[in-house]
Amino acid sequence: MKHQIFSTELVEEAARKMKVANLQEATIGDVLLVASYLENETGIPFIRMDQGSPGLPANHIGVEAEKAALDRGVGATYPAAAGVQELKEAASRFVKAFINTDISPRACIPTTGSVASSFASFIACTQRDPQKDTVLFIDPGFPIQKSQLRILGVKWEQFDIYAHRGEGLRQKLESYLEKGNIAAIIYSNPNNPAWICLEESELQVIGELATQYDVVVLEDLAYFCMDFRRNMGRPYEPPYPPTVSRYTDNYIIMLSASKIFSYAGQRIALACISDRLFDRQFPALAERYADSGIFGPTFIASILYMITSGCTASTQYGYAEMLNRSVDGTIDFAADVSVYAERAAKMKKIFTDNGFHIVYDRDVTQPVGDGFFFTIGYGHMTSGELMRELLYYGVSSISLSTTGSEQQGVRGCTSRMRDDLYPVLQERMEKFHLDHPLS
């Protein structure tokens, strides 16, 4: 007799009613629907490891600054397309203080979340040179970014970095770049979903090749300074987070407020473009948009503004205040979110004590850290099989196969874990292990 929390029939009913054709190939949205349906129908809580929403309150300093901005009347007028000056200046200070990279305020562009940053960047990068029409993903990665390229009709290539860490990354990257059609390289660091971190030596390889082949690197730092193995959240003090900006001028850094300030609901981020790229002129852009063809102004006025018409003015002031307070030392954002690492350590131990293994378990020189995400596998189960089986035991996750990974397993997120749920997870995984003996 199996010890499932939810019967196979009930889970299949949930999938059918939520129009999920194949649970093993379910997207994040599909898993959310199925888990929510089962919770609502039975009253039994799920261990929600699916969606990467913040599990902490929004930073109160940003909230108060946003309220004050509304009281000043900023809601009555459109903000400048390039962003409010206070935020642009705060962003430039923040990047210098925490990355030790110089980017002028004019090249720090507010966006409606990093999703808007990547969308606009994909457009600008794949239209600047007619010969370069393809985006290269260093996977595993964020599935939505490939969905954006589907909307745009833009081609992409991808590879799983699992077997290409360290110096092996150079040969793998060059096998794509030497074709001459790659416009941009994109990755997240720390990585969503694997929580691996590209190290300085790897970023040096990426930067050198980006310069050699004239490729723009899109560096998604959504989990900025959340590699908790080192304290990188001190302004103007090393160690600084690893970044490709030290090794090339062809980059756009995407900085989101969603995780580091738990400000996801306000949809605010920054596209920080290197000054040299910002000022480069591309005839193909000039011809398409009938403008100067200079990358930065075209990115802002001819592309990004057409997508979102700018960011909410009050939210820009809230973000500016949080950035400035971080630089001044009033906010220690890295310490504020370090609870995610504590949750990951506890959750990973429960899983590994019950037969699971960590899939992406190492960086080049050290074991992978604890943080917002982690990856687990079980025996010889495929990604889809494991994701589906965990649903029967009241645990929702996402399949690694949906992230560009070639490894078998699922991604777990720590953000919605609570102290009262650890014993529940322990009991359920003991039952899972009992029902799925490993040879």
Q: What is the pLDDT along the chain (439 residues), one digit of tens a residue?
A: 789 999 999 999 999 999 998 888 888 889 999 999 999 999 999 999 998 899 999 999 999 999 999 999 999 999 999 999 999 999 999 999 999 999 999 999 999 999 999 999 999 999 999 999 999 999 999 999 999 999 999 999 999 999 999 989 999 999 999 999 999 999 999 999 999 999 999 999 999 999 999 999 999 999 999 999 999 999 999 999 999 999 999 999 999 999 999 999 999 999 999 999 999 999 999 999 999 999 999 999 999 999 999 999 999 999 999 999 999 999 999 999 999 999 999 999 999 999 999 999 999 999 999 999 999 999 999 999 999 999 999 999 999 999 999 999 999 999 999 999 999 999 999 999 999 999 8
Q: In this predicted structure, what is the pLDDT of residue 26?
A: 86
- The answer to the question of residue 52 being in a domain is no
Specify the number of domains making up the chain: 2
Residue 283 preceded by cis peptide, ω within 30: no
Q: What's the pLDDT at 52?
A: 87
Q: How many residues does the chain have?
A: 439
Which residues, 6 or more positions from 47, have their beta carbon under 8 angstroms from its beta carbon? 394, 395, 396, 417, 421, 424, 425, 428
324 and 241 in one domain? yes
Q: Is 250 helix (H, G, I), strand (E, B) or coil?
A: coil
For residue 168, being part of any structural domain is answered with yes
* Judgement on whether residues 70 and 212 belong to the same structural domain of the protein: yes
Question: Residue 1: its pLDDT value, please?
Answer: 76
The residue range of the domain holding 355 is 8-44+338-435
**Three-state DSSP class for residue 273:** strand
**Pick from 165, 99, 164, 139: nearest CA to 365:** 165
Q: What is the pLDDT of residue 439?
A: 81
Identify whether residues 355 and 430 lie together within a single domain.
yes
CA–CA separation, 202 vs 53, rounded Å?
29
Please choose, from the candidates 124, 133, 130, the residue with its C-alpha nearest in 3D space to the C-alpha of residue 295. Answer: 124
* Dist. CA 423–CA 382, nearest whole Å: 27
Task: Identify the sign of the CA torsion 390, 393, 397, 402.
Answer: positive
Same-domain status, 418 and 321? no
Nearest to 85 by CA among 374, 324, 277: 324
pLDDT tens profile 30-70: 999 999 999 999 999 999 999 889 999 999 999 999 999 99
- Domain membership of residue 55 (yes or no) is no
| CATH assignment at residue 391 | 3.90.1150.100
Backbone angles phi, psi at 152, to 5 degrees: -80, -15
One domain for residues 310 and 235: yes
Q: Are residues 75 and 26 in the same domain?
A: no
Q: What is the pLDDT of residue 436?
A: 97
Same domain, 263 and 351: no
Report which of 314, 307, 235 is spatially closest to residue 271, judged by C-alpha positions.
307
Kindly report, residue by residue over 220-231, the tens digit of the pLDDT. 999 999 999 999
Residue 99 lies in a domain: yes
- In a domain, residue 111? The reply is yes
**Domain ends where: 269, 299, 328?**
328
Buried-exposed string 142-177: b where 16+ CB fall within 10 A, e elsewhere: bbebbebbeeeebebebbbbbebbeeebbebbeebb
Q: Does residue 308 sit in the same domain as residue 392?
A: no
Look at the block and give the residue holding tokens 């960590």: 358
Residues 178 and 300 in one domain: yes
Let me know: does 415 contact 398? Beta carbons within 8 Å: no
| Whether residue 346 is found in the same domain as residue 324 | no
- Both tokens of 172, joined, read 């793998």
347 & 210 share domain: no
Residue 311 lies in a domain: yes
Asked whether the beta carbons of 211 and 249 are under 8 A apart, the reply is yes
Residue with tokens 């990068």: 125
Which of residues 303, 328, 353 is at a domain's end? 328
Domain CATH code at residue 185: 3.40.640.10
Does one domain contain both 157 and 185? Answer: yes
Reading the block at residue 48, the tokens are 């929600």
Element containing residue 134 per DSSP (H, E): strand 134-139
Parallel, antiparallel, or unpaired for β 269-273 and 108-111? Answer: antiparallel
The residue among 328, 356, 372 that closes a domain is 328
Tokens coding 170: 């150079």
In the prediction, which pLDDT does 25 show?
86
Q: Is residue 414 part of a domain?
A: yes
- Cβ–Cβ under 8 Å, residues 16 and 34: no
Answer yes or no: is 73 within a domain.
Answer: yes
